[in-house]
Structure 1
Amino acid sequence: MNLTPDSKVLIQGFSEFISATHIAQMKAYGTNLVAGVNPGSGGQQLYDLPIFDLVEEVVEQFGAIDTTIICVHPYQVLDAALEAIASHIRQIIIISAGVPPLDMVQLLRKAEAGETLIVGPNSPGIIVPGKILLGTQPSEFYTPGSVGIVSRSSTLTYEVAWELTKAGLGQSISVSIGSDAIVGSSFLQWMQILDEDETTEAIVLVGQPGGDSEEAAARYITEAIDKPVVAYIAGRQAPAIKNWRQTGNLATVIGRAPNFGTAQSKLAAFQAADVPVAERPSQISELLKKAIH
């Protein structure tokens, strides 16, 4: 992974998922934004960035690009990401929400073959406080430190960061893996990255109902993670939703436990793994301080 102020960063697309404010904030934070790609706008300047029609043109002019931030229409994400992979970009952050699941399946197969790390879709990106901002996270909530945050939520990611900042606990890296049905990188991958990261002393995992990624993370923490972990599960009071109208939906729940994907299932998994779970975001810092000392 290359997440340093020297990393060359590209933006693909300028849809409603990103604004001039986000781009200005990334630049002000020291992120090395070199160019934008917007087919049909090549040769223009947008938000003080030179715009190109193709990713390969950016690579020709600036050399190897470390990270691309994709902000195109969800139905164009697959093409944009495949273009980035073809230009040997190894870190892809997808801000756009609502990418078709089959497009994601195809993209992930391609990414795995080329060892490309994909964050998102439906993600505000990554921040290494004090060093680099990749995406739309509000940097003012963060302060440099040693707590790593990995989250499925968007806004909750920075709410948790703000609670830590207020409690005097700085952050080493914060990533939202995205909250679409199918996302690129998993809790497991990021737990491993944070466990191996020398600047990270403890990890906060922020989950939410749906799927079983938190349960898998709980098992993985027991088996492979040495650092203290504190979890928070959003939506504990949210009603369980089952839609029986289509056979496809019916097939997804047959043979699964009745509480599959519920907040209760996730809480039970962390309990079994001896991972402390905060009842509200403001409690996370208390549990962290206990876990660290």
Structure 2
Amino acid sequence: MNNRPNPTWLHYLHISKNKTSDLILEDPGPIETMIGNLSGNSFDLLAHNAPVVYLNDYRSNSYVFMSKTIKSLCGHDAEAFIRGGIGHAVSLFHKDDLRLFNEQIFPDRLKFLKSIPASEHKNYLFSYNFRIKTKAGHYISILQKNTFIQSDLRGNPLMSLGMIYDISAYADPAKTVHTIDKFSTDAPCSKIQTLEQTNYYLDDRYKQFSNREREVLLWMADGLTSKEIADKLSLSEHTVINHRRNMQEKTNTPNAISLVAYSIKKNLI
């Protein structure tokens, strides 16, 4: 009976370093050949998992470009988006996600864009997750990242360049996370700084505090530390911290002080 534990990743790195083996099925050849083979249609990682790249024009509600990888993502080929324009993409949206983007996320995004010079729009990256319906009839969660490469003098976006990824295995369909990042153009290697991260919920019930969270919040309002609250409620300090973080996420507040202030303002306590 083999009682040896499975090797950890770090242990595997150690035993694999500089190891030669006669069990390799075939010689992959020189590095240049290996890299060249990656671009072949037979290499499934790139053929089926490469991000979708698109360029759309709001002035004509059209797609100027849609990469062929869209077909492996949702089953619709790139030509369907070129022919149907943004209207085709809208028809694939989950209706609840479309309502959320239309009524909350886009107005917030547009307000931000109008607060900065139009010439700087291309220096900002916008990301959010939503669901679309595939040609097979089921929904997948995708992450869209885009920047506005052209806007008018009033700050209205005109052309958007973006990328789309399938994140179905990781996304929470009940929550949409919208982020705004800024490219640092003065650095040799462009860095990204996150300016805003906002959580949107499809169901207002997800915003509501649980009874235990309210208990924690009340003690926070009295000025108690997480450890003191844990002692009061016979909980671990880690559990109290998790409750606090959950409440901050639901209210989009950055810290405990902001959470208490927000809760008092909204008559939650």
TM-score range, shorter chain: under 0.3
User: TM-score, length-normalised on structure 2?
Assistant: 0.27
TM normalised by structure 1 equals: 0.25
Which protein, 1 or 2, shows the higher relative CO under an 8 Å CA cutoff with sep ≥ 6? 1
